Chain A
Amino acid sequence: MSTMRRAWRLTFTACALALLAACSETPKTTGAEAGMRLLTEPQYRQIIADVFGQQITIGGTFDPLVRTSGLLTVGASAARITPAGLEQLDRMARSIAAQVTSEENRDFLLPCAPADMRAPDDTCAAQFFGTTGRLLLRRSLAEDEVASLVRLANVATRELGSFHDGLASALAGLLVSPEFLFVIEQAEPDPKRDGALRLDGYSKASRLSFFLWGSAPDDELLRAAEAGELHKSSGLAKQVDRLLESPRLEEGLRLFFDDMLAFETIGRLEKDAIIFPAFSTAVALEAREQTLRTLMHMLLDEEADYRDVFTTRKTFISSALGRIYRIPVSRPDGGWMEYEFPEGDPRLGIATHVSFTALHSHAGRSSPTLRGKAIREILLCQRVPDPPGTIDFAAFNDPNSPAHTARDRLNVHSIEPACAGCHKLTDPVGLGMEHIDGAGQLRTNEDGYAIDASGSLDGFEFQDVAGIGPALRENVAAPACLVNRLYAYATARVPARNERKYLKYLEGEFADDGYRVPALLRRIALDEAMYAVKAPSTRTARVTDPVTGDPS
């Protein structure tokens, strides 16, 4: 990515925006209460990698989160830690701590060495906890906090006979402490507005950092928070631009799309080995990587129009994917190559990627309904109602005219009133993708029977899967969906009612910006809405999802 060009572009955009901002009015929001959200698994991993390095391995299972407003990150704002979950986190913490203090790592991960390896060294311990604790707890530690960590390490060292083991014990405690595992936001009185609240500097830093980098604030961002710079628009802008220009933006945006595209189960995706022998877990993981690479390249490197992700022919292919897509791969021994699907190939855009078509299929066959539902819910942020409880398919299965293709199987769903309401949201979309089988491979027939792959999406008709991309591109819900998801991700909660106008405004600005994602990220990060906080209500708050009605 060309940092110089991007920086120039951002500056230009910033100036333009500043002028526009002076003219246009950003709708005001009152936000929501300061929240407390659990670190998600990707965030946890990212933080450990950022603080201690990629060489630290993390095993173990995290408690599952409930996808809310389309994002696990939002579900994390209501998540709790079960005893079994904490047991796992404790095991992870001890393993991480042991690795950090291991012989191979201690020389460069610890800022100092003890005078005697078998005895406590409070000075060294204090140095370590001062710096590391700050990065892990996302705030500076008070003297007494450092002191108590040092004391803990001291006692542990004496029990265990090793400075490093003692240090590791205390570090493990830090890694299961609630202030590490939970991002606990704090509000303070806003000196600029009487009676109102604002998020404190550390909370702003966390929100910003988790939004753009998917990780805890780095040392510089914490310093800016401590200096009060994040409360000033120039100070905030400086940090926002720094985060946007960093290569870590890509990691952060990957985490976002991983969440939005629901890739967390893709590593477990299994396909029938006889029907789809070319599919394997490696293929599934590479499929995810293909889509993320494509998105990062288009949205960050090329700063393309977001809607083009649905119609682009350009992507990246690995050798395992080459076998699924039936594409020659010039690096069959591994690695990625850029590839452009030729004219006439019906595969355009991320909705035709294996990461989408195979993920939303069954193990042994495709699924127009699952795909249609995924397009609606994931890419367009529309809700497909649940199937009705009592429905008997007996009336539909005619043993004398067996259904050969998916279209035949689903036909009755589009006729029967109880089914049609929802199925007409999903099936016409998904049926248009039937030229792609359950493993993401192109096909011309289903078991020898011709496939009629005509479909439609909100009035946009198409003859086959080549049409799904353009249909998505023209659908106004698609960019609006990204805006909504990004904002929910940034605030880690379901958007509040008072934010709806702001979101509409953002959607308009996104369009004016040519649907460029870095510009949108910058807008969200600089606008007041993202940091707006209100006082807790006097009655016991019971936060519910305005869309699903789910309670917290």
Chain B
Amino acid sequence: MKLSSGTPRVIHGFAACAAVVLLCLPATASAQQGTLGFVITLWNLGSHETRFVDECPEGLNVGYDEYWWRGLSKPDRATLTENGLKSRLQRYFNAIRRGPNGEDVCMNPTAVTDPPLLLVEGDKAIGMDLDGKDGVAAGRSCPHREFTGIDGTAGVDNQLYRLLGCVYGFRSYGQVEANENENRKSNGKGMTLIEITGVDDPRNDPDVTVNFYRSIDLYTLDGSGRFLPHGSYRIDMYNGKPRYGSSVRGKIENGVLTTIPGEVNLPFYGNYTYQNRLFRDLRLRMTISPNGDSAEGMAAGYLGVDDLMFYVGSIGPIQSTTISNCPSIHVAANQIADGHPDPKTGDCTTLSSAFVFKAVSAFIVHDKGMRTAGAGRGLLDRLKGVFK
């Protein structure tokens, strides 16, 4: 900094301060007067996998297709599969309707009784301790085996992992997750916005509010298809209020955001299925990059068994690659559910779960009066065109 030597010290001082202040221009990219914004770009099941599948000592699960043809006589098998030449996808519509009365066993998982689902037997998992040390004792959760977190945390609850960890399709190479992320990337459905308000210092703030919204604007990608930070995303609004819009409190310590457990409704889209996913007692732990352009973290909480089964059941013909079986998953899900016991029956109705995600910084645009983009609106516009 060039100041002539004759300038009084005080001015040097101020100038130095000013320089420091200017050099420390707000680095948090999408800061809007105390607000940080992010859009989730990748969302995956927190699934801990070892190279030799040690967590599934009895191997991976059998899928609906095998259950189907195993139940056929050899001649029937030969006919219906054209001696094995018909691909799984081609014979899906027969295989899935293996209920005694031709029921689709994903829509009617109790129509058949299949051998029990092979669950994850390993000790380690990704996740958080959701029910505390005395969760079961206090009646908050149902008895279940807990994991040790891969980061060493004791008492990690992740029954969703236990449930799906040995199902081929839900493992990292199994297509379900990969397809979900690819779908969302290109069609912009199920995009979650995370808005952190009341931020005084983006690296350290003991009290912030975290809001969750759905975006109606697609991701912006660069020339190679990577997600670009600092884009603007409008919130999905309905009748002047955000659709979704769950809110929890949290804090930021050294750039890591953690939230107090709360009920959070998230938009979800994957494999052509759209769903509201209501997470109960959701905790967020998100590490924000030093320059604020990106973040990654974990969201752990309880997911309703019904919500899960709706999704698992809706995967449809893609199951020909996922090697999954709805009836076994249905039974096991209900059996190992560990959260939110039904007051009447005492049976737990939710599964502890953990999801890992990545995000890039985003400007979250609150635009009152914005109508949702969607089929309804498009139809209205088309009608307007007709009746000019």
A positions within 8 Å CB-CB of B:
273, 277-278, 280, 319-320, 322-324, 326-330, 332-333, 346, 435, 442, 444-445, 450-454, 461, 463-464, 466
Q: Is B30 in contact with A323, judged by CB distance below 8 angstroms?
A: no
Among B2, B24, B233, B363, point to the contact of A461 (Cβ < 8 A). Answer: B2
Q: Is A463 in contact with B229, judged by CB distance below 8 angstroms?
A: no
Max chain A CB contacts within 10 Å: which of B18, B217, B363?
B363
Contact (A322, B231) CB under 8 Å given A329-B365, A330-B365, A444-B23: yes
Q: Which residues of A sit under 8 angstroms from B226, Cβ to Cβ?
A: 277
- CB closest residue in chain B, given A452: B1
Q: List 21 A–B pairs whose Cβ atoms lie within 8 Å, in order of A's numbering.
A: A273-B222, A273-B223, A277-B222, A277-B226, A277-B228, A278-B230, A280-B222, A319-B220, A319-B231, A323-B229, A326-B230, A328-B30, A328-B365, A329-B365, A330-B234, A330-B365, A332-B233, A435-B25, A454-B1, A454-B2, A463-B22
Q: Is B23 in contact with A280, judged by CB distance below 8 angstroms?
A: no
Instruction: Give bound CA distance, A4 to B19, whole Å.
Output: 48
- 3 smallest CB-CB distances across A and B, nearest first, come from A328-B363, A277-B222, A329-B232
Instruction: Give bound CA distance, A454 to B16, whole Å.
Output: 12
Q: Is A326 in contact with B30, judged by CB distance below 8 angstroms?
A: yes
Q: Is B217 in contact with A346, judged by CB distance below 8 angstroms?
A: no
Q: Is A332 in contact with B25, judged by CB distance below 8 angstroms?
A: no
Tell me the minimal C-beta distance from B37 to chain A in angstroms. Answer: 8
Q: Which residues of B sit under 8 angstroms from A461, Cβ to Cβ?
A: 2
Excluding A277-B223, A333-B217, 11 further A-B contacts by CB distance (< 8 Å) are: A320-B220, A326-B30, A328-B32, A328-B363, A328-B365, A329-B232, A329-B363, A442-B25, A444-B24, A452-B1, A461-B2
Q: Which residues of B sit under 8 angstroms from A324, Cβ to Cβ?
A: 230
Among A323, A453, A454, point to the contact of B230 (Cβ < 8 A). Answer: A323
Q: Which residues of A sit under 8 angstroms from B318, Cβ to Cβ?
A: none
Tell me the minimal C-beta distance from A451 to chain B in angstroms. Answer: 7
Tell me the minimal C-beta distance from A318 to chain B in angstroms. Answer: 10
Tell me the minimal C-beta distance from A446 to chain B in angstroms. Answer: 12
Q: Verify if B224 is at the interface (C-beta below 8 Å from A).
A: yes
- CB closest residue in chain A, given B361: A326
Enumerate B223-250 residues with CB–CB distance to A below 8 Å: 223-224, 226, 228-234
Instruction: Give bound CA distance, A322 to B32, whole Å.
Output: 13
Among B23, B29, B30, B217, point to the contact of A451 (Cβ < 8 A). Answer: B23
Contact (A273, B230) CB under 8 Å given A327-B363, A452-B1: no
Q: Verify if B200 is at the interface (C-beta below 8 Å from A).
A: no
- CB closest residue in chain B, given A445: B23
Q: Which residues of A sit under 8 angstroms from B367, Cβ to Cβ?
A: 330
Q: Is B27 in contact with A332, judged by CB distance below 8 angstroms?
A: no
Contact (A330, B232) CB under 8 Å given A277-B223, A278-B222, A461-B2: yes
- CB closest residue in chain A, given B221: A277
Q: Is A332 in contact with B217, judged by CB distance below 8 angstroms?
A: yes
Q: Which residues of A sit under 8 angstroms from B18, Cβ to Cβ?
A: 463
Tell me the minimal C-beta distance from A519 to chain B in angstroms. Answer: 38
Q: Which residues of A sit under 8 angstroms from B228, Cβ to Cβ?
A: 277-278, 323
**Residue-by-residue, is B1-30 near A (CB-CB < 8 Å gives 1, otherwise 0)?**
110000000000001001100111101011
Max chain B CB contacts within 10 Å: which of A333, A346, A451?
A333
- CB closest residue in chain B, given A456: B2
- CB closest residue in chain B, given A333: B217
Q: Which residues of B sit under 8 angstroms from A453, Cβ to Cβ?
A: 22
Instruction: Give bound CA distance, A248 to B302, whole Å.
Output: 63
Q: Is A463 in contact with B363, judged by CB distance below 8 angstroms?
A: no
Contact (A444, B231) CB under 8 Å given A327-B363, A328-B365: no
**Residue-by-residue, is B363-378 near A (CB-CB < 8 Å gives 1, otherwise 0)?**
1110100000000000
Q: Which residues of B sit under 8 angstroms from A330, Cβ to Cβ?
A: 232, 234, 365, 367
- CB closest residue in chain A, given B15: A463
Among A273, A277, A327, A464, point to the contact of B22 (Cβ < 8 A). Answer: A464
Instruction: Give bound CA distance, A330 to B104, whole Å.
Output: 46
Instruction: Give bound CA distance, A323 to B367, whole Å.
Output: 19
Instruction: Give bound CA distance, A320 to B230, whole Å.
Output: 10
Contact (A463, B1) CB under 8 Å given A273-B222, A329-B365, A346-B25: yes
- CB closest residue in chain B, given A327: B363
Among A280, A444, A454, A463, point to the contact of B223 (Cβ < 8 A). Answer: A280
Tell me the minimal C-beta distance from B175 to chain A in angstroms. Answer: 28
Q: Which residues of B sit under 8 angstroms from A450, Cβ to Cβ?
A: 23
- CB closest residue in chain B, given A278: B228
Q: Which residues of B sit under 8 angstroms from A451, Cβ to Cβ?
A: 23
Tell me the minimal C-beta distance from A19 to chain B in angstroms. Answer: 48
Tell me the minimal C-beta distance from B124 to chain A in angstroms. Answer: 36
Q: Which residues of B sit under 8 angstroms from A278, Cβ to Cβ?
A: 222, 228-230
- CB closest residue in chain A, given B226: A277
Q: Which residues of A sit under 8 angstroms from B364, Cβ to Cβ?
A: 328
Q: Which residues of B sit under 8 angstroms from A333, Cβ to Cβ?
A: 217, 234
- CB closest residue in chain A, given B220: A323
Among A332, A452, A463, point to the contact of B365 (Cβ < 8 A). Answer: A332
- CB closest residue in chain A, given B22: A464
Contact (A346, B2) CB under 8 Å given A277-B222, A280-B223, A332-B233: no
Max chain B CB contacts within 10 Å: which of A328, A444, A466?
A328
Q: Which residues of A sit under 8 angstroms from B27, Cβ to Cβ?
A: 444
- CB closest residue in chain B, given A442: B25
Tell me the minimal C-beta distance from B350 to chain A in angstroms. Answer: 35
- CB closest residue in chain B, given A274: B224
Q: Which residues of A sit under 8 angstroms from B1, Cβ to Cβ?
A: 452, 454, 463
Tell me the minimal C-beta distance from A493 to chain B in angstroms. Answer: 43
- CB closest residue in chain A, given B35: A328
Q: Which residues of B sit under 8 angstroms from A273, Cβ to Cβ?
A: 222-224
- CB closest residue in chain A, given B29: A326
**Residue-by-residue, is B336-366 near A (CB-CB < 8 Å gives 1, otherwise 0)?**
0000000000000000000000000001110
Contact (A323, B25) CB under 8 Å given A277-B222, A332-B217, A463-B1: no
Instruction: Give bound CA distance, A280 to B222, whole Å.
Output: 8
Instruction: Give bound CA distance, A177 to B25, whole Å.
Output: 58
Q: Which residues of B sit under 8 angstroms from A454, Cβ to Cβ?
A: 1-2
Enumerate B184-230 residues with CB–CB distance to A below 8 Å: 217, 220, 222-224, 226, 228-230
